[in-house]
């Protein structure tokens, strides 16, 4: 009902009488008034006068009804511990493909290797449930599809010099703009679902806590519609998944990734490895060329670029 009321008010733009709304919606004028009051409480600037109602402004809040055609798959939580936790419960209870949990604020957001992800108001914090119906061996490539989709969106729609960084970050101007985390469950040798969590700095300011991070608003000098960004990502992601060639996913991802051939430091759960980033294989593993010339494959970890000073102290030239 809220979506229907907003659609009429947006279409008509001028004052719309309560009688017109009630007739169009097949409900009473009292019911219309109650829904209008609720929308006002949620932040919609709706003029209410003797002649009817007029929509003046809308909040940048990703309510389900703001995503036509996806309303039943959008779950907006003003405040939650983690969208990953909420999405895990939904996925286990049969939530359909591309069900998306979005939070206004996360109190216990987390990144890779159990690191905390700051989730203050103004950012986009969401987890998308993906049911790709693929063998377990291909599951890691879904993360690269999500990363490719978002990086392309940030570059093509917003004009940002965004670059994907192995395995799941996106940088702009050398600073972290987005972090991604994924969890999956399997049935036999098939993927039951993959939950892809994203934390994107949009209108929030992460710099007081994370000097190496940046937001879209700071880079572009203006506030960004989170609703438009989320809708565009979901549309693009759904299209890419529908037509994906899993054999070429990582090669496509490399076209928007940080250049290979740089010296990197990779922290895994058990060790820190340093070497030259030689390649990323079709399954998404990073191939490092170590100082002794041997190669090592890293499947999971965090990747950092050592500073020139670090390299000078180690007696190794920066790439």
Residue stretches of the annotated binding site for biotin: 106, 110-112, 176
Distance CA 91, CA 96 (A): 8
Residue with tokens 């060329």: 289
Does the CA dihedral 254-257-259-261 come out positive or negative? negative
* 262 three-state secondary structure: coil
Known binding-site positions: 106, 110-112, 176
* 254 three-state secondary structure: helix
Residue with tokens 């989170």: 226
Report angle CA 36, 40, 45 to the nearest 5 degrees.
110
Distance CA 254, CA 256 (A): 5
Q: Which two tokens stand for residue 70?
A: 């996806």
Distance CA 214, CA 163 (A): 13
**DSSP type of residue 117:** -
Beta bridge pairs of residue 195: 129, 183
Q: Between the CA of residue 241 and those of 218, 238, 269, 316, what are the distances in Å?
A: 31, 5, 30, 42
Q: Which two tokens stand for residue 67?
A: 């995503």
Distance CA 72, CA 75 (A): 8
Distance CA 133, CA 191 (A): 6
Burial label for 291, CB within 10 Å (0-12, 13-18, 19+), is exposed
């Amino acid at each position: 009902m809220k979506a229907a009321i907003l659609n009429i008010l947006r279409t008509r733009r001028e004052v719309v009488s309560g009688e017109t709304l009630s007739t169009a919606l097949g409900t009473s004028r009292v019911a219309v008034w109650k829904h209008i009051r609720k929308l006002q409480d949620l932040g919609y600037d709706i003029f209410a006068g003797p002649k009817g109602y007029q929509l003046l402004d809308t909040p940048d809040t990703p309510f389900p009804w703001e995503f036509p055609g996806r309303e039943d798959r959008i779950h907006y939580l003003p405040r939650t511990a983690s969208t990953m936790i909420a999405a895990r419960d939904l996925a286990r209870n049969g939530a359909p493909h591309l069900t998306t949990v979005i939070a206004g604020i996360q109190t216990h957001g987390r990144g890779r290797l159990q690191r905390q992800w700051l989730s203050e108001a103004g950012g986009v914090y969401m987890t998308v449930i993906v049911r790709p119906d693929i063998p377990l061996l291909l599951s890691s490539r879904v993360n690269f599809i999500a990363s490719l989709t978002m990086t392309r969106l940030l570059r093509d729609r917003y004009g940002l010099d965004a670059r994907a960084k192995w395995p799941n970050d996106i940088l702009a101007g050398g600073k972290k703009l987005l972090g991604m985390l994924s969890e999956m469950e399997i049935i036999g040798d098939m993927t039951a679902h993959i939950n892809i969590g994203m934390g994107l700095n949009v209108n929030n300011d992460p710099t007081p806590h994370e000097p190496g991070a940046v937001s879209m608003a700071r880079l572009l000098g203006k506030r960004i519609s989170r609703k438009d960004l989320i809708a565009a990502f979901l549309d693009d992601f759904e299209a890419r998944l529908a037509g994906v060639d899993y054999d070429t996913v990582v090669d496509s991802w490399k076209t928007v990734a940080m250049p290979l051939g740089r010296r990197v430091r990779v922290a895994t759960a058990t060790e820190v490895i340093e070497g030259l980033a030689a390649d990323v294989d079709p399954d998404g593993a990073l191939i490092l060329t170590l100082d002794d010339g041997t190669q090592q494959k890293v499947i999971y970890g965090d990747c950092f670029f050592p500073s020139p000073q670090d390299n000078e102290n180690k007696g190794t030239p920066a790439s």
